[in-house]
Structure 1
Amino acid sequence: MARPHRAEAPPGGRIAEFEQVYRAHVRDVTAYFARRTRDPQNVADLTADTFVRAITSFAAFDPARGSPRGWLLGIARHVFARYCEGVSRGRDAAARLAGWRELDVDEAAELVVRIDAERSGRALLDGMAELSQADRDVIELVDIAGMDRGEAAVALGISPGAMRIRLFRARGRLRKVVGENHG
């Protein structure tokens, strides 16, 4: 019995669209993780995990609700939070290690350069340690990652008005903390 002819997907489509999103924002996602860990292997793995989650949910992505960058950094926040939970509890360490592939020398060197480039961002994050998590999140997304307030609101799942108020208050608290530590 002859197989029915399947229509080929049109050139481009959602796959090409996701590839464009990936190419446009992979550096932003990598930089996000490079500010949080000095280990190139962790940066590579967390970046890959973010894009695996992104590709599996890309069909639900709605550009009307926010930019691809904001959407990806929102996913990256969740990936990093889950990673931190796993590390702090010490569970699944063997499973994570078993799934790693060793980076070749060029890949590791490139990530080391990126991590070094994010050193000032890491220093700022270290200085923000006295702030609440909510304050750190808004400052990091807007002031460090360079997102506009609307994108950051989408990434955090809050309204633009709440974002504006939260950012204003967080910046004030940070100025106070920095002033106390350097005054």
Structure 2
Amino acid sequence: MRDHEALAAFERIYRADVGAITRFFARRCTEPQLVADLTADTFVRAMTSFGTFDARRGSATSWLFGIARHTFAVHLERSARSRAVADQVAGRRELDRDELAELEARIDAERPGRALLERLAELPELEREAVELVHLCGLAPKEAAEALGVPKGAMRTRLYRATARLRAVVDDEVEAR
């Protein structure tokens, strides 16, 4: 693929998925600047590795969610090491009012998603991520399996178990009322 064709293909993928990737981070972070930075980091990583993307192995969306998951894991690892504030702020550009307002609105819109993630916290990690990718991000179970690096059959099992566990939690809450 020629450079201009690759650039056009990446731009199509970016435009199709930037909203979903931003929402993914907005469910995890309440700081607009951090949501913007993690989204940008994800697409920078995607752009630099775009030459290795193979649509025969999975969709661009599942590929991007895999990169986003890795980007967030790296962020958590760095945060856990408690870097100095100056290190965390270095290289950030200030958001203008419109960008800040838009990200605040996205973060606010993802409040129900954050609440669901809190309820899912008791599930095993892969079940929790499977529910999020399928039910919050809108990926097909096959795409979620690709993003998580698990077999399709295992994804169906994880979704079934997670749904059953969540149903039991909701039933318990209804009985307690």
TM-score (norm 2): 0.92
2:117 to 111, 114, 125: 125
Tell me if the contact between 1:86 and 1:92 (Cα under 8 Å) persists in the aligned partners.
no
For 1:29-108, list aligned pairs within 5 A: 29-91=21-83, 93-108=85-100
Q: Computing the radius of gyration over CA atoms, which structure comes out larger, 1 or 2?
A: 1
Q: Report the CA distance between 1:10 and its aligned residue.
A: 5.5
Residue identity in the other structure for 1:35: R
Q: How does 1:91-170 map to 2 (within 5 A)?
A: 91=83, 93-170=85-162
Q: Distance in 1 between matches of 2:104 and 2:95?
A: 12
- How many residue pairs were aligned? 175
Shift of 1:91: 3.0
Q: Deviations over 1:86-111 (max 9, x none)?
A: 22231365322112111111110111
CA distance in 1, matches of 2:52, 2:3: 21
Distance 1:159 1:89 in 2: 33
Which runs of no fewer than 5 residues in structure 2 stay unpaired? Answer: none
**1:39-64 per-position Cα deviation (integer Å, ceiling 9, x unaligned):** 10010000000001100111111111
Superposition deviation, residue 12 in structure 1: 3.8
Q: 1:93 to 1:154 in 2, by over 3 A?
A: farther
Distance 2:69 2:174 in 1: 30
Identity %: 55
Moved more, 131-140 or 87-96: 87-96
Unaligned runs of 5+ in 1: 1-8
TM-score (norm 1): 0.89
Paired residue type of 2:95: L
RMSD: 1.7
